[in-house]
């Protein structure tokens, strides 16, 4: 995966994050978890193109995305979601049977919950040959104060959750996070 100077400038200039930045940061989070399984939970971080394909075309369009991955062996599954000009992040907590939907504007998205529940049901049936009781799965929606920090918020939701840390940040941390993400992406290494 390649990040260009223009991508990095999006972090420096208080602009919206693009797919490349979100995907690269997600890959860093996943790599850290894979390299230190004794310290971090087993995770999977979907590419930003996963959710739009799933939402528009259904399970059959994304079924092959996990042919070499057992999602049910993971503790957390991260799904970055781009809604036009706004980033959110869904976290499927396999152990807790819960889908957390992190939206820095604090909006609720029941359609996302339904789409991801249906996906999990189809994935369990196709890959495990089992029927999931999806009635047990709940939706949890845990603020951004401008129109451009949603991508940074969403990446940080994922980063914090991937190491099981409480979400203790707010709008006032965004400039620091942007600088930190520049360093992490350029050095290809997460600080925490």
Residues belonging to the active site? 86, 103, 150
The β-bridge partners of 80 are: 89
C-alpha distances in Å from residue 172, one per residue of 149, 175, 178: 11, 7, 11
Look at the alpha carbons of 103, 101, 154, 65 in this order and tell me if their dihedral is positive or negative.
negative
Compute φ and ψ for 57, nearest 5 degrees. -115, -10
In whole angstroms, what separates CA 148 from the centre of its chain?
A: 18
Cα–Cα distance, 163 to 32 (Å, whole number) = 10
């Amino acid at each position: 995966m390649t990040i260009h100077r223009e991508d990095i400038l999006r972090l420096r200039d208080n602009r919206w994050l693009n797919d490349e930045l979100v995907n690269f940061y997600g890959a860093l989070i996943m790599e850290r978890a894979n390299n230190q399984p004794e310290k971090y939970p087993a995770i999977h971080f979907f590419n930003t193109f996963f959710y739009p394909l799933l939402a528009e075309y259904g399970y059959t369009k994304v079924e092959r995305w996990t042919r070499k991955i057992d999602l049910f062996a993971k503790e957390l599954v991260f799904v970055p979601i781009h809604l036009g000009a706004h980033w959110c992040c869904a976290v499927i907590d396999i152990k807790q049977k819960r889908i957390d939907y992190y939206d820095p504007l604090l909006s609720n998205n029941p359609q996302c919950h339904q789409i991801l529940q249906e996906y999990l049901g189809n994935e369990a049936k196709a890959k495990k040959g089992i029927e999931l009781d999806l009635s047990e799965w709940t939706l949890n929606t845990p603020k951004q104060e401008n129109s451009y920090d949603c991508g940074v918020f969403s990446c940080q939701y994922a980063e914090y959750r991937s190491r099981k840390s409480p979400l203790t940040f707010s709008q006032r941390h965004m400039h620091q996070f942007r600088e930190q993400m520049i360093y992490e992406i350029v050095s290809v290494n997460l600080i925490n």
